[in-house]
Every structure is written in structure tokens, then in C-alpha cells.
């Protein structure tokens, strides 16, 4: 086991120049400072479990009561399949889907000799209140994480001059606020990785799964190699757009169309500014160019780190394409429709908000 751990933490892979793990320990002792330690990551796993428990309690005792007070019904559809028969004339004259007061997914439509349409529908166990509760939890976390990130980064030198992400490396003290910022965010993404299999299923399920894997690897890599300065900037950039989207979705579930449209447009603008423009201009620039010019030599982990950052940027473009599709659809139809969500796309109640 020790040999495997030594192989995983190979100094030539992780550290720049002639830096060793002993140098980290010596700096901590001589300078009386704390540096990143790979063993710290063990705290992430129990913390991820705690965050998931907090989520369950929050959704049950906070989010659902809020949703019910806003008029969202907590009705669970039957887990069966049945036929709904209507005449072709009645169907053609309807401007809205049949209202059965439940969430359903239409699977097929066939015609019979009598001119009737037969729609086979499958009732879902996911209610609008459950969707609202999930979005409410994510909204609360993303907003809280963003505010916390802004507060702790305002007085950090590397926030205003990204060269400080690399100057004096590895003698870069790890403060308690950055430590907890990393631990909580990393634990949150671990909880998302596993809860994704029980949350509302969306069309970009595997893209989101890949995003969570890349984010976890990125945070873990940057923590082990003590690239937490640039890593903290990546975190705050990502958090600043996400809560706008969750807020828009919450408004959709409460049938507040004007509010949802406004929040979604703000989300799209913030996404474009932070992830399409600022992210490559500041983050990728400092990791691809400033880091190389300041560090004496770059270890293999540095290039893996850049590869993960580049992968995130590719995913940013993929989701921005979906955002543009949603915006175009909204302009044509007058309603925001989440292109990523299978269950939401087929939700009869949600379509008619």
C-alpha cells in the first residue's frame, strides 16, 4: 500500500523543479505556515456525506414547505402505463396537452380505423415540487458558495494580478478560508456525482457526469500540487452563473413566466461573460503562459491540470450552444424551455407556464 501511495504521489509528476514533499514539510516548520497536503483530501468523503444529508433535510423541511406555500402541488403519478383515447378532431383543436394533473411522458401516437388517436403515456414519480426542491437546494448552495468565494478573494493578491498564482511557488501559505472553500466545493461535487443518478434525468446526463469527474480531478490535482490560487478563481467563476439558472428553474416551477425569462437572460449573459470570455482571457492565459514563464520547470501534473481546464472550456461551449437554443426557442414561442431536461420537456404542466 505504501508503494502504491508513493507511486501516486511521485514528486517528479506533481512538483515543479527540484521541489520535494520534504520541502513542503520544511517550509511549514520553518515559516510556521500551512501548505496543501494530499492527506487532507481524506476529509472530503465524510464531508460529502454530511452535505448530502443536509441536502435531504433542506429539501424536506425548507424547500418543500416553500414550494407548497407558492402553490406547487406534491402529487405523485401512478407508475403504470395506460391509453388515452380522443378523437382526431378534438386533438387537432387542442392548443394544450390533455391536463391529467400529473407529470407524464408521451411515448407514441398511432391512428386506428375509427379516426381516433391513441396516446400511450407513462406516469412519472417526479413531481414539480421535487424538481423545485432540487433547484432550491442548488440555488442556495451556489449562491452561498459564490458570496463566500467573493468575500474571501477580494483581499487576495492573485485575484487582481494572476501572476501571483505562481510567484514564490511553492512557498504559498494555505489560509483557512481557502482550505474550507476547497474542501466544501470538492465535497459538494462528490455528492453531485452520486446523487446525479437519482436526481431529475436530463439529456446532458453524461456531459454533466463528465463535468463532475473533470471538476473533481481538477480540484484534487490543483490541491495536491498547491495550485489552489488559480483553482479558487476557477471556483468563483463557475459559481457566479449557476444560481441564476436554478433561480430561473424555480420560477418556472412556480409558473412565474416573466421572472423565469428575466433570470434566464441574466444567466445567459453572466455565463457568456464569465465562462466564454473571462475564463480563457484570465484563467487559461495564466495557466498556459504566465505559469510557464514564472515557474522554473513544469511537472507533468501541470499539463494534466491545463488539459482539465481546457476540457471544462469545451463543455462551456457545449452548454452555451444549448443556452442559445433555449434563448432562440423562447423568442419564437414566448416561453423558456430547458433543452437539457427530458422529464421537464415532457412535463405537461411545465410546458404551459
* Tens-digit pLDDT profile for residues 145-188: 999 999 999 999 999 999 999 998 878 889 999 999 999 999 99
Q: What is the pLDDT of residues 195-223, one digit of tens each?
A: 877 776 767 677 778 878 888 988 998 89
Q: How confident is residue 236, by pLDDT bands cut at 50, 70 and 90? A: very high
- The predicted pLDDT at position 4 comes to 57
Q: Where are the alpha helices (DSSP H) in the chain?
A: 2-8, 11-14, 21-31, 44-58, 64-69, 88-93, 128-153, 157-160, 176-195, 205-224, 228-253, 257-271, 285, 291-294, 300-333, 342-345, 348-351
The more confident residue out of 332 and 131 is 131
- The predicted pLDDT at position 37 comes to 87
- C-alpha 73/C-alpha 130 separation (Å) is 10
Three-state DSSP class for 35?
coil
Please say whether the beta carbons of 311 and 214 come within 8 A. yes
On average, the pLDDT of the chain sits at: 79
Q: How confident is residue 17, by pLDDT bands cut at 50, 70 and 90? A: low
Q: Find the range with the poorest average confidence among 12-16, 80-84, 200-204.
A: 80-84
- C-alpha 285/C-alpha 302 separation (Å) is 14
Handedness of CA 175, 179, 185, 188 (dihedral sign): negative
Amino acid at each position: 500500500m505504501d508503494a502504491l501511495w508513493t507511486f501516486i504521489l511521485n514528486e517528479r509528476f506533481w512538483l515543479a523543479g527540484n521541489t520535494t514533499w520534504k520541502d513542503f514539510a520544511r517550509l511549514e516548520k520553518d515559516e510556521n505556515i500551512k501548505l496543501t497536503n494530499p492527506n487532507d483530501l481524506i476529509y472530503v468523503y465524510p464531508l460529502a456525506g454530511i452535505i448530502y444529508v443536509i441536502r435531504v433535510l433542506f429539501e424536506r423541511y425548507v424547500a418543500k414547505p416553500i414550494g407548497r406555500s407558492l402553490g406547487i402541488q406534491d402529487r405523485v403519478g401512478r407508475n403504470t402505463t395506460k391509453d388515452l383515447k380522443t378523437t382526431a378532431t378534438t386533438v387537432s383543436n387542442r392548443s394544450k396537452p390533455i391536463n391529467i394533473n400529473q407529470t407524464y411522458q408521451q411515448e407514441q401516437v398511432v391512428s386506428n380505423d375509427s379516426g381516433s388517436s391513441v396516446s400511450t403515456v407513462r406516469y412519472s414519480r417526479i413531481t414539480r415540487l421535487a424538481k423545485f426542491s432540487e433547484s432550491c437546494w442548488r440555488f442556495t448552495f451556489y449562491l452561498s458558495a459564490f458570496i463566500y468565494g467573493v468575500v474571501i478573494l477580494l483581499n487576495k493578491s492573485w485575484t487582481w494580478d494572476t501572476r501571483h498564482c505562481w510567484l514564490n511557488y511553492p512557498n504559498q501559505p494555505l489560509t483557512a478560508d481557502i482550505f474550507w472553500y476547497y474542501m466544501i466545493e470538492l465535497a459538494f461535487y462528490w455528492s453531485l456525482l452520486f446523487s446525479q443518478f437519482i436526481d431529475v434525468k436530463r439529456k446532458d446526463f453524461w456531459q454533466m457526469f463528465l463535468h463532475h469527474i473533470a471538476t473533481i480531478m481538477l480540484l484534487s490535482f490543483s490541491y495536491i500540487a498547491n495550485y489552489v490560487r488559480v483553482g479558487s478563481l476557477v471556483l468563483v467563476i463557475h459559481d457566479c452563473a449557476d444560481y441564476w439558472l436554478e433561480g430561473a428553474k424555480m420560477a418556472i416551477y412556480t409558473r412565474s413566466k416573466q421572472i423565469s425569462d428575466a433570470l434566464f437572460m441574466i444567466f445567459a449573459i453572466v455565463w457568456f461573460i464569465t465562462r466564454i470570455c473571462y475564463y480563457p482571457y484570465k484563467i487559461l492565459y495564466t495557466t498556459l503562459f504566465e505559469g510557464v514563464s514564472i515557474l522554473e520547470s513544469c511537472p507533468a501534473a501541470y499539463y494534466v491540470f491545463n488539459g482539465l481546464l481546457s476540457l471544462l472550456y469545451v463543455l462551456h461551449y457545449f452548454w452555451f450552444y444549448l443556452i442559445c437554443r433555449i434563448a432562440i426557442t423562447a423568442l419564437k414561442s414566448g416561453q423558456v424551455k430547458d433543452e437539457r431536461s427530458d422529464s421537464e420537456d415532457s412535463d405537461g404542466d411545465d410546458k404551459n407556464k
